[in-house]
């Protein structure tokens, strides 16, 4: 009798379990969860750049980064969690790990390929980051591994129920533009590569996507000061490119919805949300919208947070929750939390409903 009761307990335990590999050859859980695959740049990078050969300009694995939530630096370019971390939490998933995290073998909850500094164009910070093309190759390896582990049918099921988040494009417009290129042509290349990524994921079974418009890049503290050695486009040019990118992205997504059967997407209007918080911080519970909590020079705009980027001295604010920006280019955890809540409540939540 005791043995029978024990078996009942084990079955009940397995039925409610959220650990993928523990019960009944993987199949019990996938009905209960939707995997999350993440691509992009420093807004989403959970620490992939810790493991590549790059410079400290493209890393953030030292204090005070990570101090608010993790209590140690993870490689995230913020004081705490990023949008994908909050989305994972709302979707009742564990924090999605960095693809390059040593020893990572289980991709059944998804994985994060994002790399700080990455662009949609291979040329953006080439040699220092994991560009979108390389992130696509990494995803192919994961997809192959899932097929080997789960079998074709189950792997396709996981990939077609999964949600794919991407944050890309900002670095393509910070970098010097190709000479003799019109804005339309240049933004066309960026959106072209993003479209190609969507179609690639769609071919592998992906149907549900989350995009965000580009933020107002000239509002970041780092764009309010001239960075040493900066050869990029002017502020006015960056603003024009960002607005054009956002318009074109909306057009392309509307078009793809008609062309690709079953294609669903949710889009966060990061441009408006971020601009609002920069210009009216107190309305959203912040005291400072233009100056970084961590950095040096006017507005904290010189990218020295943590003292590992060639300059050891830097200023750090007393209360990070009062600030919109953590460092010269990246928001605080509190901003990311507000954005995530907004996006989840808007319609991202629906993509996670099985």
Model confidence over 59-73: pLDDT tens digits? 999 999 999 999 999
Would the pLDDT of 144 be above 50? yes
Average pLDDT of span 40-55: 98
Please, which pLDDT band fits residue 178 given cuts at 50, 70 and 90?
A: low
Residues 6+ apart with CB under 8 A from 24: 14
Cα–Cα distance, 2 to 300 (Å, whole number): 66
Q: Write down the pLDDT at residue 31.
A: 52
Please, which pLDDT band fits residue 174 given cuts at 50, 70 and 90?
A: confident
Give me the long-range contacts of 104-108 (CB less than 8 A, separation at least 24).
106/20, 106/21, 107/35, 107/142, 107/145, 107/146, 108/20, 108/21, 108/26, 108/29, 108/30, 108/35, 108/146, 108/150, 108/158
Cα–Cα distance, 191 to 280 (Å, whole number): 31
Average pLDDT of span 69-93: 98
Residues 6+ apart with CB under 8 A from 189: 120, 121
Q: Which two tokens stand for residue 182?
A: 């019109």
Query: Catalytic amino acids?
Result: 42, 327, 330
Cα–Cα distance, 233 to 237 (Å, whole number): 6
Q: Which two tokens stand for residue 45?
A: 């990078």
Q: Is 39 helix (H, G, I), strand (E, B) or coil?
A: strand
* 344: enclosing H helix or E strand: none
- The residues that bridge with 294 in the sheet, in sequence order, are 316
Output the furthest CA–CA distance in the chain (Å, rounded): 81
Would the pLDDT of 10 be above 50? no
Cα–Cα distance, 97 to 173 (Å, whole number): 28
Q: Write down the pLDDT at residue 8.
A: 34
Whether residue 296 contacts residue 313, with contact meaning beta carbons closer than 8 Å, is answered with yes
Would the pLDDT of 276 be above 60? yes
Cα–Cα distance, 43 to 207 (Å, whole number): 23
Give me the long-range contacts of 188-193 (CB less than 8 A, separation at least 24).
188/248, 189/120, 189/121, 190/119, 190/120, 190/121, 190/245, 191/120, 191/245, 191/248, 191/249, 191/252, 193/120, 193/121, 193/132, 193/133
Q: Write down the pLDDT at residue 54.
A: 98
Q: Write down the pLDDT at residue 283.
A: 98
Whether residue 147 contacts residue 107, with contact meaning beta carbons closer than 8 Å, is answered with no
Q: Write down the pLDDT at residue 235.
A: 87
Would the pLDDT of 16 be above 50? no
The overall average pLDDT reported for the chain is 91
235 against 160, higher pLDDT: 160
Would the pLDDT of 169 be above 80? yes
Cis bond upstream, residue 8 (ω within 30) = no
Cα–Cα distance, 223 to 303 (Å, whole number): 10
β strands within the chain, DSSP E: 36-40, 110-112, 163-167, 208-212, 264-268, 288-292, 294-295, 315-316, 323-325
Q: Write down the pLDDT at residue 6.
A: 35
Residue with tokens 């994985």: 111
Q: Write down the pLDDT at residue 57.
A: 97
Average pLDDT of span 138-165: 97
Would the pLDDT of 22 be above 60? no
Cα–Cα distance, 119 to 14 (Å, whole number): 42
Average pLDDT of span 145-164: 97
Q: Write down the pLDDT at residue 9.
A: 34
pLDDT tens across 185-196, in order? 999 999 999 999
pLDDT tens across 113-138, in order? 999 999 999 999 999 999 999 999 99
């Amino acid at each position: 009798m005791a043995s029978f009761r024990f078996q009942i307990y084990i079955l009940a335990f397995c039925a409610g379990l959220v650990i993928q590999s523990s019960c009944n050859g993987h199949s019990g859980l996938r009905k209960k969860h939707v995997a999350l695959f993440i691509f992009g740049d420093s807004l989403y990078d959970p620490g992939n750049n810790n493991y590549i050969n790059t410079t400290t300009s493209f890393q953030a694995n030292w204090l005070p980064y990570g101090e608010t939530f993790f209590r140690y630096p993870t490689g995230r370019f913020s004081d705490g969690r990023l949008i994908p971390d909050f989305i994972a939490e709302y979707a009742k998933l564990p924090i999605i790990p960095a693809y390059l995290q040593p020893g990572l073998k289980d991709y059944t909850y998804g994985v994060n390929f994002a790399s700080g500094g990455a662009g949609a164009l291979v040329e953006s910070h080439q040699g220092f980051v994991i560009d979108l093309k390389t992130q696509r190759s990494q995803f192919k390896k994961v997809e192959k591994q899932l097929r080997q582990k789960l079998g074709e049918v189950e792997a396709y099921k996981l990939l077609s129920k999964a949600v794919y988040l991407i944050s890309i494009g900002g670095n393509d417009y910070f970098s010097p533009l190709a000479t003799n290129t019109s804005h339309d042509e240049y933004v066309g290349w960026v959106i072209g590569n993003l479209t190609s990524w969507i179609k690639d994921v769609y071919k592998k079974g992906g149907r549900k996507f989350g995009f965000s418009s580009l933020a107002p890049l000239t509002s970041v503290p780092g764009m309010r000061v001239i960075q040493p050695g900066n050869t990029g486009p002017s502020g006015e040019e960056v603003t024009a490119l960002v607005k054009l990118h956002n318009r074109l992205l909306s057009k392309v997504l509307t078009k793809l919805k008609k062309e690709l059967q079953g294609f669903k997407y949710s889009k966060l209007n990061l441009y408006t949300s971020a601009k609002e918080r920069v210009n009216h911080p107190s309305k959203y519970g912040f005291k400072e919208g233009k100056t970084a909590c961590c950095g040096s020079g006017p507005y904290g705009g010189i990218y020295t947070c943590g003292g590992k980027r060639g300059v050891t001295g830097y200023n750090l604010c007393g209360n990070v929750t009062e600030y919109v920006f953590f460092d010269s280019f990246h928001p605080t955890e509190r901003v990311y939390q507000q954005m995530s809540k907004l996006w989840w409540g808007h319609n991202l939540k629906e993509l996670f409903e099985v």
